[in-house]
Structure 1
């Protein structure tokens, strides 16, 4: 134990990946952690490069942002922002540019953080945005963070779960082409996701009897079969089976009016059938305060609900609200999970 933390209760270690170094990841990390008060609640561990952080600190004129490089997690500084250097070489940083360098070093950061997360050395992980294309390599052949972390965790099932103080939305089918969505919707997959969502609401959010709404796939939820049969043949039977097992599940609801009418406020979470069906209303209603949480993993991972935003990278225009919320959400979920472990 280091001298400055001796005699103190060790705060949770929250890992933070740097994401694409040419995107807004480093900027929102610096802004979110600039106020030293955050270290009263947790100990931030940034996986990336002190040189990259120094570059953006100067670029953004954030002289008040201080950090301490450490070699490993044996002696973190519990009153400071810690940085583990995942590489030593000089890197050409080009804010706003989509290139292979951004992808290469985003993966180095993610790989190191995931290793410590899987080994239980950190209590939770917050991932800054990556570019899903330029990160592709022999070591990373995944549609995104969710799929990568699920494989590293050995989890067959996971759930992309967008959460905020006012709403929670999960998606049945994640990062797949829209033309493949209908074929991917099965009664079994819906039941699995509802079960996973209900478990997460209990152990990660402390909701004992969660109420879940399920959206339809077709316009007007199929209009009794006129506009599609999936609601009748697949979605409704899945809901009824979940109800028969004591779960509070309702639907399928037409997705167009569900959020606009405020119907979502009556439920603890909503299961959408595909990515944009859930994320468009979520981001429209909670942008800058929403968080992407991967449910169903043996460890806790959150992420801000925005991308690399190359157009504003390095210009001191990025809003750090979602990153800050993601950090505190990771802390809250990790604490809640430890208190609500299921047998």
Structure 2
């Protein structure tokens, strides 16, 4: 791939006291990764130097003032801050949370300005990032606001894709949060993502029930019969291949997920427990439905091993490759769906 055509991959470094910088740096210690993309860390040269020295990494990087100055063929670090923040590995501090958000906001700003092409976010701590400037449950809600669209938390790995109807809300609030409109919005977002981001022409989606055994015909709650089933029937009549609701307890164990291109779970743990069990640490969290591509590893800050050089970077590396693949798929989809009359017009004017 020619240097000027390489995908510019932005990286927000996450919580500085966690394993975010470690897994990101380990991913690009293999110089062959630079053949696939140009990585751009949003932090500071002092911060990245401290992190790489902590893990005895020999990786070199190019320091720049902003993303317009990046050099292809090298790992680039955009200097978002000049000061040297105090790093205390394994500790959830207000300082580490504030710098995680500085990195995130700078990278998203560069993404919106098309100075980078895709974004991979390292893990944050949802508690220590909260402030007057950042009042979101996590990455997904913030990105939905900044990058416009109907977002969908979409966990993906080879042979398995699991999306969530509701994500970071309390279990006691799940049933009342699920509405016919929400189901329709999430299914349509997932359908478009499967076509545009994964190249699946006629996607099939399975929807999991809210209650045990999908309510057992109303014996264990009536939400599945009164909300989920009518919504599924309506979507199917619209031409969407969506089926269910299926009883979640046996769905994955019986390998029923293999019959579908994606599964839509009712709530966070219903989808993520089987996903993380089956993906063996190579899963990727993708935020579908936005104007730009964002992925992240499927793990958290892992304070318990932070600073020890023990972190497994497999999921972060998968997040990088997934972002690159989706970016290319979106370009192909755009070319395929471009108005033929516009193409003819362009040729004539040329």
TM-score w.r.t. the length of structure 1 is 0.96
Partner of 1:325: 318
Partner of 2:93: 99
Partner of 2:347: none
Partner of 2:252: 259
Partner of 1:281: 274
1:68 aligned to 2:23?
no
Runs of 4+ in 1 over 2 A off after TM superposition: 7-10
Q: Tell me, which stretches of 5 or more residues in structure 1 are unaligned?
A: none
1:245 aligned to 2:238?
yes
Partner of 1:32: 27
Q: What is the CA-CA distance between 1:250 and the residue it aligns to?
A: 0.9
Choose from 44, 48, 57 the match for 1:53.
Answer: 48
Aligned pair count reads 336
Q: Which has the higher helix share?
A: 2
1:16 aligned to 2:11?
yes
| Cα deviation code 1:132-159 (max 9, x no counterpart) | 010011110000000001111233x210
What is the SS of the residue equivalent to 2:266? strand
CA contact 1:10–1:78 (8 Å) conserved in 2 = no
Partner of 1:295: 288
Q: What is the CA-CA distance between 1:9 and the residue it aligns to?
A: 3.8
CA contact 2:27–2:313 (8 Å) conserved in 1 = yes
Q: What is the CA-CA distance between 1:8 and the residue it aligns to?
A: 4.1
Q: Tell me, which stretches of 5 or more residues in structure 2 are unaligned?
A: 339-350
Q: 1:300 to 1:58 in 2, by over 3 A?
A: same
Choose from 186, 193, 198 the match for 2:179.
Answer: 186
Q: What is the CA-CA distance between 1:58 and the residue it aligns to?
A: 1.4
Root mean square deviation, CA, Å: 1.3
* Cα distance in 2, alignment partners of residues 90 and 52 from structure 1: 7
CA contact 2:4–2:72 (8 Å) conserved in 1 = no
* Cα distance in 1, alignment partners of residues 50 and 258 from structure 2: 43
Partner of 2:333: 340
Choose from 207, 211, 217 the match for 1:218.
Answer: 211
* Cα distance in 2, alignment partners of residues 90 and 12 from structure 1: 30
